[in-house]
Structure 1
Amino acid sequence: MRAAVLKDYGQEVTVENVELDSPKKGEVLVKIKAAGICHSDLHVVSADLPLPVPMVLGHEGAGVIEEVGEGVTRVRKGDHVVLNWVPECGECYYCNIGRKDMCDTAQYTAQTGALPDGTTRFHSKDGQIFQFSMTGTFSEYTVVPEAGVIPIRKDVPFPQAALVGCGVLTGFGAVVNTAKVKPGSSVVVIGAGGVGLNVIQSAQLAGAGKIIAVDVAANKFDIARQFGATHTVDASEDDVIDQVLEFTDGSGADYAFEVIGRPNTIAQAYNCLGKGGMAIVVGIAPPNEDVAINAFSLPAQSRTITGSWYGQSNPIVDIPKILDLYMAKKIKLDELITKRYTSLDGINEAFNDMKEGKVARSVVEL
């Protein structure tokens, strides 16, 4: 079978034939039908997210269950599924308090590039191949833990379903689960890319009164308005904070979402807030970088700054919910797909298109 493998940091991925073991106890074999292209994959390529290599990249995907291992009860052969890159253990402290997105076991295991038993299922003649976040969706088939798949309705197209596995769920959950955006409130979204668009449309769904999209690429503003933005700020030309104050009658925003992952834009999101406002950091910055904010403003203006990992979601509940909203035409997924690639051979082109800002979201169909 074929898979897209990152051999070393800074290199293009190579599409090659690899071997894949059968699923073990508590695991499933998935035929990947569509995989989304996400900036998190690029973070591995650039070593901003240093993980072991060689590695099969890809963590946003949908497909069909081909085989189940011993003891699997959640799914069966033929089920359509979305892959879940935070497969909860169900036993740690965070799982027990309902924060599956913070599962200790899932976070630790993802850093190893292996599956929970400490071994890998992908191999080549040169040895083991790791897989990104226990998924590895840039492959024709993959083996993942049972908790790493979420069964979905069969009338949803695979490309649209794949996007819900990361970008859509992350944006939706940041609004609904983390911020709990209130009707009539003002929202700033810094970064109008694939995840940012989902923050925008989820804020609209939540009833936000003003939704201000901020980006340095003015060509993104048309689609941002299509997804619900009421105002736009070109950060390459205008002072973002001044513009936000103008749009909010001088009071500042109730919520500001940072969806890029840079210290300066994280601080910018915080500084866009009014009294009692909340800044939600969705973007992933390199682990060695820090953010500077004014300490006095935290108590004096009662502001909050928090993170949102995987939309603070419970994927087995939230993914089917989002797909139901899509089928009811309340969430846009078709419009997110700017470009489709018909095979794994388009992976490097897809990465380049994403880096150059040519796409909102793109998918590889297998």
Structure 2
Amino acid sequence: MRIRGAVLEEIGRERPYRDSRPITISELELDGPGPGEVLVRIEAAGICHSDLSVVNGSRMRPVPMLLGHEAAGRVERLGTGVDDLAVGQRVVMTFLPRCGQCAGCQTDGRLPCSVGSSTNNAGTLLSGGVRLHRDGHDILHHLGVSGFATHAVIDRHSLVPIEDDVPADIAAVLGCAVLTGGGAVVNAGAPVQGDTIAIVGLGGVGMAALITAVSLGKGSVIGIDAVPAKLARARELGVTAALSPQEALDAGIKAPVVVEAAGNVRAFETAVAVTAPGGRTVTVGLPAPDARASVSPLGLVAEARSIVGSYLGSAVPSRDIPRYAQLWRDGALPVDQLISRRVGLDEINEAMDELSDGTTIRQVIMFD
């Protein structure tokens, strides 16, 4: 079938992207779903820093590639062997499929699926296949989803069904921002009653971690970011305090659970510095591969502190997404407040500029 999608043609073009146009909106051919796969009509797709990381070269992927990994849509066709979804059902897409068989899949979310990680790096679906084509040439898949398109063929392992009462834009954001940020708090941070939780870096994932921390009601929640507008939004969302990195360091902030969600060295070092003795620094940000931070090993040993990496919020999507959806229903998780604006597919390059400028939390592409 013919579809429209946002294809990254070349990595590392200069900004502003509205001028260099690294992403083109193309007419593509999409194969039907193979065994274990599902054809989905995309309703909404969030624009995440992990998409930008491919555009600017912080994360190298093979190109040309149809971007987008945070999305929700409706099932249109089922491949053979898929008998637990129905045509017309709304589904959330997740960017790391879990084969269910490898050693990583046996760790309750702590480690990523090794098979899914391998196929994601190759730009294929979990089967190893490519379903996208343009002018006789393959167009690769982004993290098994390629959600910046009118339709996608996705492995069943990358889909989580969700009830119709969850709007498509909310459902999309649950699949990455909330799954990653919320999971960093709940799964990897594991706060107990009375724990202060600090969030360093208040982009989409960091704000998702923040609203999750507030919803838990365990103790004080502190938001840390260098952008005043984001600190103001954090205050609106119910934090105990919102501080710049320097203000947090000058105030001697120390928290038992600290989540770093900015993906840069200074943020990571700040997160380690504000972690209390006996506390845990959870890092979910994805800095450049050659980035290096300075940490005192003596401080870790003498104060019994730990640093924990958390990919996709150490989540099991089929377990965790329904939990967050219920918190949203209950009014405890204001996911709608994460959405800065809704855009059209044709605005994708301009949206990447805004994301790079750090002026937005989450932009969502809406499809008719």
TM bracket, shorter-chain basis: over 0.9
Partner in structure 2 of residue 130 of structure 1: 140
3-state SS of paired residue (1:102): coil
Question: Aligned partner of 2:84: which letter?
Answer: R
1:291 aligns with 2:293: yes
How far apart, CA to CA, are the structure 2 residues paired with 1:35 and 1:142?
A: 12
How far apart, CA to CA, are the structure 1 residues paired with 2:327 and 2:244?
A: 31
How far apart, CA to CA, are the structure 2 residues paired with 1:277 and 1:324?
A: 29
How far apart, CA to CA, are the structure 2 residues paired with 1:161 and 1:286?
A: 29
Structure 1: gaps of 5 or more residues = none
Partner in structure 2 of residue 354 of structure 1: 355
3-state SS of paired residue (1:133): coil
Partner in structure 1 of residue 365 of structure 2: 364
3-state SS of paired residue (1:34): strand
Does structure 2 retain, via aligned residues, the 8 Å contact 1:197–1:227?
Answer: no
How far apart, CA to CA, are the structure 2 residues paired with 1:313 and 1:79?
A: 23
262-271 or 303-312: which moved more?
262-271
How far apart, CA to CA, are the structure 2 residues paired with 1:307 and 1:227?
A: 26
Spell out the pairing of 1:16-27 with structure 2 (5 A cutoff): 16-27=26-37
Partner in structure 1 of residue 317 of structure 2: 315
Does structure 1 retain, via aligned residues, the 8 Å contact 2:40–2:77?
Answer: yes
3-state SS of paired residue (2:143): helix
Does structure 1 retain, via aligned residues, the 8 Å contact 2:105–2:113?
Answer: yes
Spell out the pairing of 1:156-175 with structure 2 (5 A cutoff): 156-175=166-185
Structure 2: gaps of 5 or more residues = 14-21
The CA deviation string for residues 216-264 of structure 1, in whole angstroms up to 9 with x for no partner, is 11011221112221112123xx353222x1xx5xxx2111111111122
How far apart, CA to CA, are the structure 2 residues paired with 1:161 and 1:21?
A: 25
3-state SS of paired residue (2:88): coil
1:200 aligns with 2:210: yes
Does structure 2 retain, via aligned residues, the 8 Å contact 1:101–1:314?
Answer: no
Question: Aligned partner of 1:58: which letter?
Answer: G
Does structure 2 retain, via aligned residues, the 8 Å contact 1:34–1:162?
Answer: yes
Name segments (4+ residues, structure 1) moved above 6 Å. none
Question: RMSD across aligned C-alpha pairs, in angstroms?
Answer: 1.4
**What fraction of aligned residue pairs are identical, expressed as a percent?**
36
Task: Give the alignment's TM-score, normalised by structure 1.
Answer: 0.94
Partner in structure 1 of residue 280 of structure 2: 278
Partner in structure 2 of residue 81 of structure 1: 91
Q: CA deviation at 1:186?
A: 1.5
Partner in structure 2 of residue 110 of structure 1: 120
Partner in structure 1 of residue 248 of structure 2: 240
How far apart, CA to CA, are the structure 2 residues paired with 1:82 and 1:226?
A: 28
Partner in structure 1 of residue 263 of structure 2: 261
Task: Give the alignment's TM-score, normalised by structure 2.
Answer: 0.94
Q: CA deviation at 1:101?
A: 5.2
Return closer, same or farther for 1:165/1:231 CA change in 2, 3 Å cut-off.
Answer: same
Return closer, same or farther for 1:25/1:68 CA change in 2, 3 Å cut-off.
Answer: same
How far apart, CA to CA, are the structure 2 residues paired with 1:207 and 1:117?
A: 42
Partner in structure 1 of residue 18 of structure 2: none
Question: Aligned partner of 2:208: which letter?
Answer: N
Partner in structure 1 of residue 329 of structure 2: 327
How far apart, CA to CA, are the structure 1 residues paired with 2:320 and 2:177?
A: 13
176-185 or 51-60: which moved more?
176-185
Does structure 1 retain, via aligned residues, the 8 Å contact 2:12–2:57?
Answer: yes
How far apart, CA to CA, are the structure 1 residues paired with 2:7 and 2:130?
A: 14
How far apart, CA to CA, are the structure 1 residues paired with 2:327 and 2:111?
A: 22
Q: CA deviation at 1:208?
A: 3.5
Does structure 1 retain, via aligned residues, the 8 Å contact 2:97–2:126?
Answer: no
How far apart, CA to CA, are the structure 2 residues paired with 1:213 and 1:107?
A: 31
